[in-house]
Structure 1
């Protein structure tokens, strides 16, 4: 697929007629925020920014942020990056990352965000798939130099025309961010000549899925702005809120969960990176954060360590969003009863699932932890505006029949203005949609609760490992590990972790006469220059791997061995 006019005309007509989509754009929304309160604080750097990038932490008003957006947009234009160009962006959660998104959208460029942990292996693979025209990064993240890493593999990305970076220690091949009073005039002239179409692509995020090859997930102004309402309505965000963002702004959690809701309401966005619990708790107190997000394992750990919370000031915090894994009812109840903080249960994906259970609609913490709304049940009302827009159904994967009875497992399928238009280069991939246009999620639910008003998550049909909010595709690691001479067969599975939710481990069948060690396999993967967060942290050797009658490895039987 191209990057313009992604949703079909009939869908645009239907959803605009219903009032779910409009001519609003992301840059238009940002301009409205600047005009409404130019002198108010808008965005705050992580306090440890000096250790992270070597730059001092900053606090910008909406007017100051707008000026920096124009400066970066001018730099992009000066390097030939304009409307329709794809910009690979690899930056930590800082003021500059916020600026990068807004500057690209101002000139009509497409942002393809990459986790800072990605190395040459992932950068070249995704750069080829998306056809990066430009790459925007920083000179230092900790002890690494991302700008030098991208310059080292530039010859492998034939469409990459320019590398731009923040910082002072840049190689000759990289261009610094410009400055100058002419930036606004140049940028505004370009924007006037290239008006944004809300049906054009604005981001290409990446989903690992269960395959070794990642898939690009294009998003338009239309569907991003629609899904944003889920994260505004559930915590009841307003312009008075302070949002503390610990999730990387590379996929649904960081973008739709924090960044775009902030842009919608015009509050304060406080950035955090990398995750550090003491620093996170200090930011809540110092910035008087009212809303944040956290993985369920971390929330459970904090409840189990009351001495940590006793030393923290959480008085400003009124709600926490969580998800990516089932929420323990005792954890949701504990935060509500001990600290008066409501936990919002989110279920989402890059492709556009947007189910949420909040304390207003579901005050019972037991139900809130276990269930999600089954939108469309007659006589049942939900306060989120998405409840009137998103359609859901369960389908028996064996028969294809719709599931209408409680307690019967079925694949969740979803349709509405929050759903993405289809995968990048989707003609080469199986369609993710069924014959009625519903997104096949691959996740299994059951109908539950009074009047069948809820959906209960039964299983994650995919093998995806979610480590601290970062997705790990086992098939990618299995393909790489299979190339080690000491490995005959290998399976990669997740195992529980109190803080990160999951970590990944390998279960291998050694080649004849071999006895591979974890250190050898990790070194093998490091030589392939993959992101460090993907590296397995445990290894078990077995004489064989369990398989079903058709030869598929039974990963559920393997997970227990790594606990």
Structure 2
């Protein structure tokens, strides 16, 4: 399925930023050129995560596993453009399965591993998957059984597939395709799929409320990977430690950058401090991504060790920078730091920190070229929406070869769910931004929308939480609040208004949410009772007014 228009494809292909290879094609190319080079390494504590031994793959072995998995999918009768939903830990299987879907011409939808039955039942009907793939257990949670239960009510699901031992009845094993690396196997059924076809569907919290996902093609992922590859100077000698599961823009861009570099990808399931430090030493890591406030996760002794390790590395990438922080995360802990701005799944910007200073504003037009950038193409161009430029209320406009072209499912008719694009081809991200007083003015971008909380790197729709909390039968109204936190980004609180004469304890409220089988991050850490939930003229929660009551 191709949703990019012909003119866009011709333009970016002519500029050389889009090419002729799919992501699995990049893997196959490196497997031919350097078959014995180490490609992919599992977390050393994988046994604790999903009761499976850690594995290592050369490029030839990884390519063979991708062949076998793709052959399994095709043998089952899955067809190009069928959708496969994937919920796996941050292991080799997650990466190899995405690439196998690429090779089979399937569309893969990686699901956050922290989602539970509530989120799966809300999201999956919107994409109508033909197959679900997971592991038997992930960090003690019976994911295969959960997927099996969810599949019962999804008419489109034909197969539930899983990795690991002792899978429940009705879940087909993919373990043989994984562990047969290096033992040969059936001949690969390779087809020449168009790199402009959709490879992934990813989620953004507010779009999810509208039943929509973000589709990206192989070439759009190549562009996202180039942003990291060029700024970091990655090459075949790079050893990349990836601590984020591949369910959103930044970690998937890191996988793309790895494939482009021909280096080694080391997986880390978040987050074990001791394992992370050991991996840096044992695998001689040269590049990693860390969350803001990561230094506060470590003890004083471990922080000193972390500083020594990071300073010995080529560079370190910091994801999801918090707003309003004067001191940069990991300040002084790494000599070569790259900051990444994730623009709410629309695109990402990577900039090397100069003189230890965090860049808070960007020039309009082409983003300052990465240190190792190409001469012929800007990987992102920024502008500001016309209305509100001087009075506030302006939003960030974006043009980039990594930006998506439509929502999924595709819009039907002129009044469908189309992204807002201006006459110059700039996409309206909806992210608040403002012009600084510099000469010339620069763009200062809000790191988030007011209606989205960022908890542990996971975007959470405040509107969704409002409805979820207010659905308790003993409440007349409720709203979600947040407080800033240097490690988690924001911590979530619930403000409730009980019905007259009723009381609801925090324990009762938590039990109610657990019974709804919601993801753990949606359960608030505190609850407060208020007299009312102030709302605006359109029914929106006035969160500052609620906080004033608290």
- Determine the C-alpha separation between the residues in 2 that align with 1:153 and 1:410: 41
| Aligned position for 1:420 | 404
| Aligned position for 1:273 | 269
Any conservation in 1 of the 2:242–2:267 contact (CA below 8 Å)?
Answer: yes
Any conservation in 1 of the 2:17–2:377 contact (CA below 8 Å)?
Answer: no
The partner residue of 2:312 within 312, 316, 322 is: 316
Residues 353-406 of structure 1 deviation map (CA, whole Å, 9 limit, x = unaligned): 2323213xxx1333x3423343349xx7654449624332111444xxxx4x8x
| Aligned position for 2:118 | 121
The partner residue of 1:41 within 30, 38, 42 is: 38
Q: Which aligned runs of 4 or more in structure 1 are off by greater than 6 angstroms?
A: none
| Aligned position for 1:6 | 3
Give the superposition deviation at 1:246: 0.9
3-state SS of 1:156 partner: coil
Residues 256-280 of structure 1 deviation map (CA, whole Å, 9 limit, x = unaligned): 1x21111110111111113122322
1:543 correspondence with 2:535: no
204-213 or 240-249, which moves further after superposition?
A: 204-213
1:346 correspondence with 2:365: no
- Determine the C-alpha separation between the residues in 1 that align with 2:409 and 2:29: 34
1:92 correspondence with 2:89: yes
Any conservation in 2 of the 1:375–1:387 contact (CA below 8 Å)?
Answer: no
3-state SS of 1:163 partner: strand
Any conservation in 1 of the 2:90–2:246 contact (CA below 8 Å)?
Answer: yes
TM-score, structure 2 length as denominator?
0.90
- Determine the C-alpha separation between the residues in 2 that align with 1:293 and 1:161: 37
Give the superposition deviation at 1:106: 0.8
1:158 correspondence with 2:158: no
Any conservation in 1 of the 2:227–2:379 contact (CA below 8 Å)?
Answer: no
TM-score, structure 1 length as denominator?
0.88
- Determine the C-alpha separation between the residues in 2 that align with 1:61 and 1:512: 65
The partner residue of 2:422 within 429, 435, 443 is: 435
- Determine the C-alpha separation between the residues in 2 that align with 1:317 and 1:500: 25
Give the superposition deviation at 1:310: 2.0
| Aligned position for 1:31 | 28
3-state SS of 2:382 partner: strand
1:66 correspondence with 2:63: yes
Give the superposition deviation at 1:508: 1.4
1:371 correspondence with 2:361: yes
CA shift in 2, pair 1:469/1:27, >3 Å:
same
3-state SS of 1:149 partner: helix
Any conservation in 2 of the 1:164–1:176 contact (CA below 8 Å)?
Answer: yes
- Determine the C-alpha separation between the residues in 1 that align with 2:537 and 2:81: 49
| Aligned position for 2:280 | 284
1:229 correspondence with 2:226: yes
Unaligned residue ranges in structure 2 (runs of 5+): none
- Determine the C-alpha separation between the residues in 2 that align with 1:62 and 1:451: 50
Any conservation in 2 of the 1:208–1:471 contact (CA below 8 Å)?
Answer: yes
CA shift in 2, pair 1:93/1:527, >3 Å:
same
- Determine the C-alpha separation between the residues in 1 that align with 2:459 and 2:446: 20
- Determine the C-alpha separation between the residues in 2 that align with 1:356 and 1:435: 25
| Aligned position for 1:531 | 519
| Aligned position for 2:501 | 513
- Determine the C-alpha separation between the residues in 1 that align with 2:208 and 2:260: 34
Unaligned residue ranges in structure 1 (runs of 5+): none
3-state SS of 2:209 partner: coil
Any conservation in 1 of the 2:38–2:57 contact (CA below 8 Å)?
Answer: yes
| Aligned position for 1:393 | 383
How many residues end up aligned between the 2 structures? 536
- Determine the C-alpha separation between the residues in 2 that align with 1:548 and 1:275: 40
- Determine the C-alpha separation between the residues in 1 that align with 2:161 and 2:456: 29
Any conservation in 2 of the 1:111–1:204 contact (CA below 8 Å)?
Answer: yes
The partner residue of 2:257 within 238, 258, 261 is: 261
Residues 323-358 of structure 1 deviation map (CA, whole Å, 9 limit, x = unaligned): 3233634235x63xx344233222224643232321
Give the superposition deviation at 1:26: 1.1
- Determine the C-alpha separation between the residues in 2 that align with 1:285 and 1:393: 42
Give the superposition deviation at 1:172: 2.4
1:470 correspondence with 2:464: no
CA shift in 2, pair 1:455/1:320, >3 Å:
farther
Alignment of 1:290-309 (within 5 A): 290-299=286-295, 306-309=300-303
Any conservation in 1 of the 2:362–2:443 contact (CA below 8 Å)?
Answer: yes
Residues 117-169 of structure 1 deviation map (CA, whole Å, 9 limit, x = unaligned): 21222223222111110111111112222111111222211010011111221
CA shift in 2, pair 1:397/1:308, >3 Å:
farther
- Determine the C-alpha separation between the residues in 1 that align with 2:518 and 2:210: 14
RMSD: 2.6
3-state SS of 2:365 partner: coil
| Aligned position for 1:201 | 198
3-state SS of 1:356 partner: strand
